Structure 1
């Protein structure tokens, strides 16, 4: 309640939604504007009230009721109405609310929000593990082809990306050293793979949201959210894409059908899976894999954005070819320079680290390309991701 005092000394109370409006004092008739001052019951909202002497408290009464009953200008009480001199109970006169043309409109009621600690924890968990497209608040400042060309410099521009990429490259190269370790090396490789999977998917999500900076490399969600779950999602992308080809191959083996015609269908299914890989990776990176159940919407999206999607697919193919050629060049150069000793233990580790560095670089560029597809052509999607 908002409490204030009239100049005649009468105590007035009204509801908070009447803040800024005018009321009439029922004692003297003077019009007073309600000031939006919230005070606790029993405390005055006026300096004058602090200097007023406290009235005598009648015997047999206690608390605010006694205070209001002993005050001749009490107009409202928290509990029962004040006692009249005759001992009866008279209701206090109601405060008259006046409406003037220059009065500000009453503020809208605040929505009631129930946010339990469990809901807050769940929302924080989703925020850590889900880079949803609801974060897309920045419009692209460059054209698609300009952004696509700059993707090859993305691991090094801006400067902060260089540091992040170096850390990622070192972590990825550590897997090649762990190959020669015993059983614990396999566990370390799996942990690094899950961490890299989370990083690659976050590159897609950050690009979708309009950012040019690489995602952070902190682990805030624990082993499950930052290692195991991203690894499963990353593997699931390939499994989903190759599912039609796998089913056809299983049918071919179980039914013992002639391999001629069925083999053509298997090859076609593999090609379809490779073509859909960027879209599936995009949905898994944004934690929207359930959209794959709406094949009609996926097909409509690909039709609406066929040429941009085809361009992305072809650029990813070029990246794969460049990665393969670069890796093969490393192998040939090492073999020609070292001859038969090219593949001893030390040379083998150095070569594997070099090839892993190339693979990591082109993987980051590929994830950047997939994010650019959504950033520039999201208006053509048949379903909403934000």
Structure 2
């Protein structure tokens, strides 16, 4: 078998034996040194090609008979729902009943329990210790009140977003403004009751401030008001408590400027009355317990207040979370939408 080779300089052709493959020769015309290539294999229709084909088929059959181990993924695949932050697990959202049960049992979460105990300590300092610290105590009470007002709005907002944990204790909007907003919401809903009370006591400023701040017992109140007037006052006060959850929700989610859209609030209450009535009922119970705690603390001493602080805090957190859950689960029935 011969090997054909051409000079790359002058083009002269040569034929050499295949045994010379890999060696070098010199061109007789120009003197260029060339390396003899390996001979090209021509399979044709001979036995060599058939033998190679049979070997390939045998190797393929052997490869299929080998049992290969199947590797399982180390991490379970997650479903991607288009979030720009990356893959997320497809988790079914809780129903309103499930979220309500979790709210009632929120202290079973160690993180929530720790936050609850710290808030209890702050409220204990505000209502029990700091009142005996004169001017510094007053400043401390205002700071805690401002912080707690902000925290109350945060509880509503976080539960409205579907979060199960209580908010962090660090305030994000300061102390003073949230305190004014909290006081303003209660002032707005109870303004009709206060106007009626001022009218019945002939606008006696001193007596009115005493009733609103220090309070009076039922005997003094019966001397100031008739039975019908007391019934009207209680009705106006109850109406204010009933309307307060939707007002607080507006402030917590949409900002204080939304409190002037009373038309949208009334329409929302009408469209989701059953859910709202249930939510407002929690505030009624909390206000009722708070009123009688203040009354019995005045009658039987400070021990009642000490014992009731944890109870009132638990009831208030549950009521505030229910306001947020009301928006989270029924916002399609609202007359507005904030996202």
| TM-score above 0.5 | yes
Q: Give me the whole-angstrom Cα distance separating, in 2, the residues matched to 1:264 and 1:375.
A: 35
Higher helix share: 2
Check 1:247–1:366 CA distance in 2 against 1; reply closer, same or farther (3 A cut): same
Paired residues of 1:330 and 1:351 also in contact (CA < 8 A):
yes
Secondary structure at the counterpart of residue 239 of structure 2: helix
Secondary structure at the counterpart of residue 312 of structure 2: helix
Matches within 5 A, 1:1-386: 141-154=93-106, 156-175=107-126, 176-219=128-171, 221=172, 225-252=173-200, 253=202, 265-321=232-288, 348=302, 351-386=304-339
Paired residues of 2:293 and 2:304 also in contact (CA < 8 A):
no
Aligned to 1:97: none
Q: Give me the whole-angstrom Cα distance separating, in 2, the residues matched to 1:151 and 1:324.
A: 23
Instruction: Give how far 1:322 is off.
Output: 5.6
Measured against aligned partners, the alpha-carbon deviations of 1:20-41 in whole angstroms (never above 9, x if no partner) come to xxxxxxxxxxxxxxxxxxxxxx
Unpaired segments ≥5 residues, structure 2: 1-89, 204-224
Instruction: Give how far 1:366 is off.
Output: 1.4
Instruction: Give the structure-1-normalised TM-score.
Output: 0.52
Paired residues of 2:296 and 2:304 also in contact (CA < 8 A):
no
Paired residues of 1:248 and 1:266 also in contact (CA < 8 A):
yes
Q: Give me the whole-angstrom Cα distance separating, in 1, the residues matched to 2:256 and 2:296.
A: 37
Instruction: Give how far 1:375 is off.
Output: 0.8
Paired residues of 2:143 and 2:175 also in contact (CA < 8 A):
yes
Measured against aligned partners, the alpha-carbon deviations of 1:1-25 in whole angstroms (never above 9, x if no partner) come to xxxxxxxxxxxxxxxxxxxxxxxxx
Secondary structure at the counterpart of residue 179 of structure 1: helix
Q: Give me the whole-angstrom Cα distance separating, in 2, the residues matched to 1:324 and 1:250.
A: 20
Q: Give me the whole-angstrom Cα distance separating, in 1, the residues matched to 2:236 and 2:184.
A: 17
Secondary structure at the counterpart of residue 226 of structure 1: coil
Asked which structure has the greater CA Rg, the reply is: 2
Check 1:285–1:260 CA distance in 2 against 1; reply closer, same or farther (3 A cut): same
Unpaired segments ≥5 residues, structure 1: 1-137, 336-342
Instruction: Give the structure-2-normalised TM-score.
Output: 0.59
Secondary structure at the counterpart of residue 286 of structure 1: helix
Instruction: Give how far 1:249 is off.
Output: 3.7
Q: Give me the whole-angstrom Cα distance separating, in 2, the residues matched to 1:139 and 1:272.
A: 40
Instruction: Give how far 1:248 is off.
Output: 3.5
Check 1:202–1:179 CA distance in 2 against 1; reply closer, same or farther (3 A cut): same
Paired residues of 2:115 and 2:169 also in contact (CA < 8 A):
yes
Q: Give me the whole-angstrom Cα distance separating, in 1, the residues matched to 2:305 and 2:278.
A: 31
Secondary structure at the counterpart of residue 370 of structure 1: helix
Paired residues of 1:194 and 1:228 also in contact (CA < 8 A):
yes
Paired residues of 1:148 and 1:369 also in contact (CA < 8 A):
yes
Paired residues of 1:195 and 1:226 also in contact (CA < 8 A):
yes
Instruction: Give how far 1:278 is off.
Output: 1.0
Secondary structure at the counterpart of residue 141 of structure 1: coil
Check 1:369–1:379 CA distance in 2 against 1; reply closer, same or farther (3 A cut): same
Q: Give me the whole-angstrom Cα distance separating, in 2, the residues matched to 1:289 and 1:139.
A: 34
Measured against aligned partners, the alpha-carbon deviations of 1:253-276 in whole angstroms (never above 9, x if no partner) come to 36xxx9787766544332221110
Paired residues of 1:280 and 1:289 also in contact (CA < 8 A):
no
Number of aligned residue pairs: give it: 228
Measured against aligned partners, the alpha-carbon deviations of 1:56-107 in whole angstroms (never above 9, x if no partner) come to xxxxxxxxxxxxxxxxxxxxxxxxxxxxxxxxxxxxxxxxxxxxxxxxxxxx
Instruction: Give how far 1:209 is off.
Output: 0.8
Check 1:242–1:351 CA distance in 2 against 1; reply closer, same or farther (3 A cut): closer
